[in-house]
Amino acid sequence: MDDVIIVGAGPTGVMLASELKLQGVDAIVLERDSEPSKVARALGLHVRSVEILDQRGLLERLLPLGQQYPLGGFFAGIPKPTPDGLDTAHPYVLGIPQTMTERVLLEHAAELGVQIRRGGTLVGLSQDSGGVTADLADGTRLRAGYLIGCDGGRSLVRKLAGIDFPGEPAGHETLLGEVELTVSDAELGEIVTEVRKTYKDFGAVPLGNGLYRVIAPADGVAEDRGTPPTLEELSRQLRKFAGTDFGAHSPRWLSRFGDATRLAERYRDNRVFLAGDAAHIHPPYGGQGLNVGLQDAFNLGWKLAAAVNGWAPDGLLDGYERERHPVAAEVLDNTRVLGVLMSPEPGPQAVRRLLTELMDFEDVNRLLIGKISGIDIRYDVGAGHPLLGRRLRDIPLQRGRLYEQMHDGHGILLDQTGRLTVDGWADRVQHIVDTSEQLDVPAALLRPDGHVVWVGDDQTTLTAPLTRWFGAHS
């Protein structure tokens, strides 16, 4: 019997499996595709995702593969400067194809010993008080304590678990592909710039090696969105909006996406959980989808491991839905806003012009950047100090930096007093006695996902949060 079965070996599923393995929990990852996808649906990592990958020692592998872009301008493409003094050591968007992000995540998982079973197609599941049984297409039956659906927007796990997926169906569709072009980069840039003055969901950018990422509004919504468009269909839409198809030929892949926006009614059904696109779908405005999935996995991993390892306090595992469901709801709302702001219709364009003026106010610009980047997330861990519930940014210590201490996935007591102790929780919480000019509290207790759950200098007030988040004294 396995500890956990994860359905789907995309970024969310692989990240989750690695988080579990860090805590000594074995997960088998089922993936129906025989090899990793060659389709780079996402092209960037936002601040919070950059931070969590840094917390696990992966950022140094990713940085050479991508390019850092200013955060300003990522809200609906409205060109504004990046606000000064953002609460992060990584104030940029890391432009990197999803294929490269997945490659690094897969390498990390392999180093940890994660088992990925390719060609493993789920067809059924059942659960009881002792675990979950997964039935595969080849007749194999697997058994585990928990099963997590990371199997995308059309999640079979979600359907088999009977979890509703309310929201809005697609009313608008966009064509997307990687193709070769014959037009010069100079002419391409000139035409695209002119078209985008009216149509924000139109574009063509070089990817290197002669390939270009091309995007254009579709002519209506396809009956079967699972069927990719043809090159002729893409070329026709390019000509419709730009007057030319740029000589598009030799497609590497073609796809379509709609603006369907849905959020799972709940993230848990007894021993079955949902994460990533299986729990929430929305149009790709702002490039938030992959990022939200990674952050789901980061939140769920240590909590699920605590349950498997037997020390999870009451309510800890339910806290996954309690914390992440509202985050997804807010992302859905901001993509709805972005969709309106991208519309070429006069009304939305008037709203866009007004918002462009409002973003000249520093607080407005900062608020909107915080929504896109994920750095404004604050979980409800109780009232008190402003740091409570927020993740602590990477800060320099006298001996290294904070995120270098978080690679093993344990909680951390960062103690500037030297008078505190985590005796009884030392197997779950690392006690770091060190100081930083950028930490203005005597000590802070961080969960494994980096969110602050206590600040102070009194041992007697530390016991309750240690018990609440890390279980009983051992």
Q: What is the CATH number of the domain that holds 200?
A: 3.30.70.2450
**Are residue 226 and residue 282 in the same domain, yes or no?**
no
Question: Is residue 204 domain-resident?
Answer: yes
Q: What is the pLDDT of residue 107?
A: 97
Total domains present in the chain: 3
What local confidence, expressed as pLDDT, does residue 257 receive?
A: 86
In a domain, 384, yes or no: no
Cβ proximity of 179 and 211 under 8 Å: yes
Give domain status of residue 383, yes or no: no
* CATH assignment at residue 465: 3.40.30.120
State which of 259, 289, 313 marks the end of a domain.
259
Maximum separation of any 2 CA atoms in the chain, in Å: 71
Q: Are residues 212 and 106 in the same domain?
A: no
**Total-model pTM:** 0.94
| pLDDT at position 421 | 96
Assigned domain for 42 exists: yes
Tell me what pLDDT residue 42 has.
Answer: 77
Question: What confidence score (pLDDT) does residue 228 get?
Answer: 87
pLDDT mean values, one per 10 residues, the chain (474 residues)? 94 98 96 82 90 97 94 86 91 92 96 95 95 95 97 96 95 90 92 90 86 91 81 94 94 89 97 98 88 97 97 96 97 93 91 95 93 93 95 96 96 97 96 96 98 97 97 89
What pLDDT shows up at residue 197?
Answer: 87
End-to-end Cα distance, the chain: 27
Is 430 part of a structural domain of the chain?
yes
Residue 121: give its domain's CATH number: 3.50.50.60
- What is the extent of the structural domain holding 8? 2-167+262-373
**In contact, 241 and 199? CB cutoff 8 Å:** yes
- The answer to whether residue 390 sits within a structural domain is no
Residues 298 and 435 placed together within one structural domain of the fold = no
pLDDT at residue 55, rounded to an integer: 98
